[in-house]
Structure 1
């Protein structure tokens, strides 16, 4: 079973992602900001990172930049999801290390399918 780390400061968003991803067959762990996410990502093994942009302590961009600098996280696929929808937000996300950028709100089917493809999980 593929493991996903959801990094988002909003409890309701984490609950929504957990519900969608667990229904799609994933095991889900959560972190409330980039700092906690980085600690969990280093300590455990994940098949996918689902990351918000705007968070306290460490935002999603810093989380991805720091994660990509570490050998153990360099190859873990990262899906960044944000309310930020300007073209430069996508550019920043990809420059930080995101593999895919989606704008909130993300439909359940879109999230589940993107997670399956990115984590290499069978549909």
Structure 2
């Protein structure tokens, strides 16, 4: 089981304020946080240095979150099995279904409360609360 101080999370979102918000909440409890602006950059970073969790937005330029998840799930193990938490302002059943079909482990609607973000990150990383 990972410890929060050792668990690495890649936050993938084109909005700088969202990345900062997630970074502050996650680093406050000991996670190491890396950032990417879109799915293309995220895949490049994950191929260089694996993470314990990816938190990914749906709507991004170059490669959106759904396309990123499909590409991630086509990678060799263990990268293909990386837990993925999808965040979006889209709350429709079809949006959730599309994310799950692409390989999302969890889908949360923005805005996220810091405590909820940390709780779900801990659960998906296997870090005790």
TM-score bracket for this pair, using the shorter chain length: over 0.9
Structure 2: stretches of 5+ with no match in the other structure: 1-5
Aligned position for 2:108: 102
Map 1:40-51 → 2, pairs under 5 A: 40-51=45-56
1:119 to 120, 125, 129: 125
Query: 1: CA distance between counterparts of 2:8 and 2:67?
Result: 22
Query: 2: CA distance between counterparts of 1:13 and 1:95?
Result: 25
Structure 1: stretches of 5+ with no match in the other structure: none
Query: 1: CA distance between counterparts of 2:127 and 2:61?
Result: 31
Q: TM-score, normalised by structure 1?
A: 0.98
Aligned-residue offset at 1:73 = 1.7
Instruction: Give the length in aligned residue pairs.
Output: 123
1:20 to 25, 31, 46: 25
- Answering whether residue 16 of structure 2 is matched by residue 5 of structure 1, we say no
Aligned position for 2:93: 87
1:74 to 62, 77, 80: 80
Q: Secondary structure at the match of 2:30?
A: coil
Q: Secondary structure at the match of 1:74?
A: helix
Aligned-residue offset at 1:49 = 0.3
Alignment deviations for residues 34-79 of structure 1 (CA, whole Å, 9 cap, x no partner): 1001100111110000000000000000100000000142111000
Query: 2: CA distance between counterparts of 1:47 and 1:14?
Result: 17
